[in-house]
Structure 1
């Protein structure tokens, strides 16, 4: 009886380790794809270009304040 319990314990341990390995194998490609998408986003050129006569702002004295700006989602029908 003890040998059967030991055998079942080994099978269970092997199965759990295999599940952990499979989880890593399945997750890794998703991470690689996500990282590539992130790099593509970083390498995307801006939709709008700066004015040719634009100058860099060195020191902002006041805070930037938005007035009359709203955001919301469309309600589902």
Structure 2
């Protein structure tokens, strides 16, 4: 399972595109606190941050932080 698929399942969304349009309070993907950075490839973390938050990041750690703050 890829990171974005995991996020869709955890957030209870029916579609990947729904992740971008969740209400603000639901967009803080706090469940990611329990996910280790090495659970998914760096590229998947970066892609998730780009897709959901529309921000370019260079590291998995940056991406995870942004995703949990959004």
TM class by shorter-chain length?
Answer: under 0.3
The TM-score with structure 1 as length reference comes to 0.18
The TM-score with structure 2 as length reference comes to 0.19
Larger RCO, structures 1/2 (Cα 8 Å, 6+ apart): 2
